[in-house]
Structure 1
Amino acid sequence: MRIIGGDFRGKKILEPKDKETRPLKDLTKESIFNIINHSNKFSINLEKSNVLDLFSGTGSFGIECLSRKAIHVSFVENYEEILPILKKNLSNLKSISNYNIIEKDIINDFYFLEKKEKFDIIFLDPPYKEKKVANILSNLFKFEILKPDGVIIIHRHKKDDEEFPEKFKIIEEKKYGISKIIFGNFI
Structure 2
Amino acid sequence: MRIISGQFKGRRITAPKKLPVRPTTDMAKEALFNILNNQYYFDSVTVLDLFAGTGNISYEFASRGTEHITCVDQDYGCIKFINQTAASFEMPIQTIKSDVFKYLENSKQQATIIFADPPYDFPVEEFAKIPELVFENNLLETDGLLVVEHSKHTDLSQLKHYAYSKSYGGNTFSFFENDTSDEEE
Aligned length: 177
**1:10 is the counterpart of 2:10:** yes
**1:176 is the counterpart of 2:175:** no
Which ranges in structure 1 are unaligned for 5 or more consecutive residues?
none
The partner residue of 1:45 within 22, 33, 41 is 41
Whole-angstrom distance in 1 between the partners of 2:158 and 2:14: 33
In structure 1, what is the equivalent of residue 154 of structure 2? 160
**1:149 is the counterpart of 2:122:** no
Q: TM-score, normalised by structure 2?
A: 0.88
Matched to 1:139, the amino acid is L
Query: How far is the alpha carbon of 1:14 from its aligned partner?
Result: 2.3
The percentage of counterpart residues that share the same residue type is 31
Whole-angstrom distance in 2 between the partners of 1:46 and 1:149: 14
**1:54 is the counterpart of 2:56:** no
**1:129 is the counterpart of 2:121:** yes
In structure 1, what is the equivalent of residue 183 of structure 2? none
Q: TM-score, normalised by structure 1?
A: 0.87
Query: How far is the alpha carbon of 1:184 from its aligned partner?
Result: 2.0
| Bigger Cα displacement from structure 2, 48-57 vs 131-140 | 131-140
Q: SS of the residue aligned with 2:89? A: coil
Which ranges in structure 2 are unaligned for 5 or more consecutive residues?
180-185
Q: SS of the residue aligned with 2:144? A: strand
Whole-angstrom distance in 2 between the partners of 1:125 and 1:164: 19
In structure 1, what is the equivalent of residue 77 of structure 2? 81
Query: How far is the alpha carbon of 1:169 from its aligned partner?
Result: 2.7
In structure 2, what is the equivalent of residue 34 of structure 1? 34
In structure 2, what is the equivalent of residue 138 of structure 1? 132
Whole-angstrom distance in 1 between the partners of 2:73 and 2:137: 19
Q: SS of the residue aligned with 2:141? A: strand
- Contact 1:169/1:186 (<8 A) preserved: no
- Contact 1:14/1:58 (<8 A) preserved: no
- Contact 1:104/1:110 (<8 A) preserved: no
Whole-angstrom distance in 1 between the partners of 2:104 and 2:36: 26
